[in-house]
A and B are shown apart, each in its own frame.
Chain A
């Protein structure tokens, strides 16, 4: 083998040193198993917290990300999808005058209390009112059935909705239609599409804009929730957004689609306590891990104080013992992370099914949790290494 001299020297040095920390850990299998279980547990807690946090952000921008638009118009008072407020429909028409803007579509969003067709109980769902002739959502299954929305009081339903809808969905999958009622009107569910639940909305209904205006007679047809602008090919969305914003009065806000997704996400990050809750949960999991690993490492140091004192007597430095504890911390972090991450793959699948939220393992999150695990083990090692002072060779004789 021809290694560069520096690496060859490093290999020689690492071969010279016995992996004492690992040998000690391996010697006591019971303690090792407890340590690894503890770390895996802390890992699972962290993964779960971070997973739910990410799912919250992802789920709450699902609808935003499926909009067919380069630019989005919304009210300056808008906070999130559930409280968008409205702006005058006229702005949409004015925006189309701006060079580069090809087309514009309006969207009505409402919360609707309807009767769950399966349980016959009242439930709140999110309703989208769209022009049946326009492709406003990037959902092929939905777009194939858009013609049905031209029928009065006919709606399409999200099969990934959260809640007791399994039987309803099964009937619809068989091609039957299901009827229910809302606002004292009878509604017909004519088909399904796939979007997904969010923390803000358990279920989503899509209906024709005329049906929506009939269901909500007090809603002004001239007030839109969202405006979707398509640009001509090759037009830069950022510049176009600025141009449209300049052209329109201040009662409407113009965002690129990417900025609109970020706007939704930042609402959940800052205005909702959920980010803080999951952040705190992750911190607690981290602390639990520190305590567990600290216990294990301290017990190990205490169990080997005599041997450590002997090494000190033989002329090993305190630093050597510190290195043993650090080695143990790193080995525990690496070995504990693997079962933790493997277990989490299964738990994510379970959680995704139980909550209808888009939860899955991602490489950046796995890296983050591994980094936190390393940090957790090193912090525990740093505290546990204080016990090394008790390894006094003068007490040996």
Chain B
């Protein structure tokens, strides 16, 4: 699923060049829920963006879903991203689109569905996250927890094999946070997808199959 070996990453150039990741080796298996923890500035978010194909890798090997992303061009990275689901710290929903349309956007990338099928799948997914009654609501009309649930629906609606999440509970109260993570866990199990989640939130550590700690750009065993 994810196989990383000797991954290094630097920010900046010349005298300002700074190493943020150093000799990362990590394997994640299909269906696993892996939590990535560590103090801020440890490089865990950089690791997540590299795995997600949002940044190009500089050195080492990075095989995601059977494809090497080291040396991949912008076009290949864009295509690789279509096989991932993303959940962000902020919900990042489009404010001009309804909940249903936000979820539907993720399906437009998959050329196989027509308009009616997309609406149907998106609606079913919203129902699965308990927002059936809010299909036509705009993000501005939803609570923080509801918005993050729409974001979860958007990330999972195309049944991606890999879901990447960055502090998905940081902006939520403990109850909604718990709810969102529980939802991710349940849907991931149903779809058999792998989850890699960066989090500080100690309240949700129990959903993990494995916890990986990052410190100063290196993985530290726990």
Contact = CB atoms under 8 A, between A and B. Distances in A.
B115 A311 contact: no
A176 B105 CA distance: 79
Nearest to B138: A27
Contacts of A15: 114-115
Interface of B: 45, 48-49, 52, 54-55, 75, 78-84, 86, 88-90, 92-97, 101, 104-106, 108-109, 113-115, 118, 166, 198
A313 B78 CA distance: 8
Contacts of B86: 310, 313-314, 396
Contacts of B93: 307
A141 to B, nearest CB: 62
A258 interface: no
A397 B115 CA distance: 31
A312 B49 CA distance: 13
Contacts of A311: 105
Given A16-B114, A394-B49, A397-B54, A315 B92 contact: no
B82 A314 contact: yes
B105 A314 contact: yes
Contact of A396 (B92, B97, B104): B92
A213 interface: no
A16 B109 contact: no
Interface stretch (A18-26, A67-75, A114-122): A18-26
A17 B95 contact: no
Interface string A305-332: 0110011111111000000000000000
Given A314-B81, A394-B54, A18 B105 contact: yes
7 contacts: A18-B105, A312-B81, A314-B106, A315-B82, A317-B75, A394-B49, A397-B45
A339 interface: no
A313 B52 CA distance: 8
A281 interface: no
- 7 nearest CB pairs, A to B: A315-B82, A27-B96, A315-B81, A15-B115, A397-B166, A310-B92, A23-B96
B82 A397 contact: no
Contacts of B88: 310, 396-397
A396 B166 CA distance: 9
A12 interface: yes
A88 interface: no
Interface string A375-397: 00000000000000000011011
A310 B147 CA distance: 15
A324 to B, nearest CB: 11
A12 B106 CA distance: 17
B10 to A, nearest CB: 14
B210 to A, nearest CB: 20
A15 B49 CA distance: 33
Contact of A315 (B55, B96, B109, B118): B109
Given A15-B115, A16-B114, A16-B115, A394 B55 contact: yes
Contacts of A307: 92-95
B78 A16 contact: no
Nearest to B80: A315
A9 to B, nearest CB: 11
Contacts of A18: 97, 101, 104-105, 108
B111 to A, nearest CB: 8
A12 B104 CA distance: 15
Nearest to B198: A397
Nearest to A17: B108
Given A313-B86, A394-B54, A397-B89, A16 B118 contact: yes
Contacts of B198: 397
Contact of B49 (A12, A17, A315, A397): A397
Contacts of A314: 81-82, 86, 105-106, 109
Contacts of B55: 394
Interface in A206-220: none
Contacts of B83: 315
Contacts of B49: 393-394, 397
Contact of A20 (B48, B97, B115): B97
Contacts of B109: 314-316
Given A16-B108, A17-B108, A316-B109, A306 B101 contact: no
Contacts of A12: 114-115
Most buried by B among A15, A18, A317: A18
B52 A23 contact: no
Given A16-B114, A314-B109, A315-B84, 7 more contacts: A18-B97, A18-B105, A23-B96, A315-B109, A394-B55, A396-B54, A397-B88
A369 B141 CA distance: 41
Contacts of B94: 20, 304, 307, 310
Contacts of B166: 396-397
Contacts of A396: 54, 86, 88, 92, 166
Nearest to A397: B166
Most buried by A among B78, B88, B106, B118: B78
